[in-house]
Chains A and B, each alone.
Chain A
């Protein structure tokens, strides 16, 4: 018997809750055109997690550089900063049980304040900011908290419909403790009228799920005369207790 599971302190070894596939976007969403040829058409093979899904990689704080979570300066020339509305994004990585998910890697990327990405294939006329790279990362603390500093990205047009624009957003990649928790999503900003117009946002059916991706302006966490703050919690799949599940011999 793994004592750690009894005390709730050690690593957990239970399978993850089934994913709610109706809450997530469907694969085939023809109004988001690229999905048409990239969406699997056959039923997924359902299976309860095995050890291959229950386990997952961990990342030590030693991989982090001092400015990895500061997009204002992590690409800028010494003494300079990226241009745009200065913001702090903070929140927690939790699981569906409401428990914090500590020590997990969170990566983020975004366009600059004009809505332009630093990428070869980017065709938008908005100017590049020589002091903005657009990527950052951090690792959650023991209570699941993370934070980073950046500029608020601009909305941008993209080739889909003739006149489709993305709302301002930040892309997030999150690891959990098991590979089955792996998630990529996007954070939107409270009050943005572009959210409801976006074909990619509309791949999600449930308005509650869209609210769950919309960060709240938090004036209490705002630093006066410096940076506004947005709170964005990320929820990963919860996992079952293993107390009453069949065990392999010797465990």
Chain B
């Protein structure tokens, strides 16, 4: 016999269900007066540093139907590539940018919209710079464990080419599922849960 490791197991995930908006964006679904506002709806203010951008997209199921009961969260670095987090040890991030957003999607179209800034580059473990990206986390009815993915920027071709995470995608035809094309200041990032265009999801 050996000494036990005495580790606990992570609590098992369960679906967010059809009423996740009650818990996480109650004002959005007409439960007013409990919280002054829903968390994560406003990411930038007048003093936030960086290029203003809009990220728009939908979460689309295997039949091609956009989800209207999903909840999408994003997490990103500031314009200088620093995260507003105690675990960030390289410097102090922009105090006017939290870097986290949450969207319930549009009630009729399912489209999510994030008004944010373009993040700077963040180093990989070995010091190489990753391409600018935004981390996504998607939960909904029918999704048993939250899905993780990243959005990269269509106008960052060179950075994307040398990104160590994108480089690990074996089937190169799937790389474009993570790259959002730019139109003006708007990036469109549709997330496909299944099918030909299934988004690359991460186990990270």
Contacts and interface: CB of A to CB of B under 8 A. Distances in A.
A74 to B, nearest CB: 5
B95 to A, nearest CB: 13
Contacts of B140: 38
A216 to B, nearest CB: 14
Given A119-B22, A179-B135, A236-B10, A13 B201 contact: no
Contact of B22 (A38, A45, A117, A201): A117
Interface string B33-57: 1111001000000000000000000
Contact of A56 (B87, B122, B146): B87
Nearest to B141: A34
Given A23-B10, A75-B31, A212-B12, A40 B88 contact: no
Given A38-B143, A50-B165, A179-B135, A135 B22 contact: yes
Majority SS of interface residues in chain A?
Answer: loop
Interface in A90-139: 94-98, 107-109, 117-122, 133-137
Assign chain A's interface to a size class.
35 or more
B183 interface: no
Contact of A50 (B10, B122, B137, B200): B122
Interface in A195-251: 200-201, 203-204, 206, 208-210, 212-213, 234-238, 246, 248-249, 251
Nearest to A137: B35
B14 A46 contact: no
A25 B135 contact: no
7 closest A-B pairs (Cβ-Cβ)?
A: A109-B23, A34-B142, A55-B85, A11-B86, A38-B142, A57-B100, A25-B144
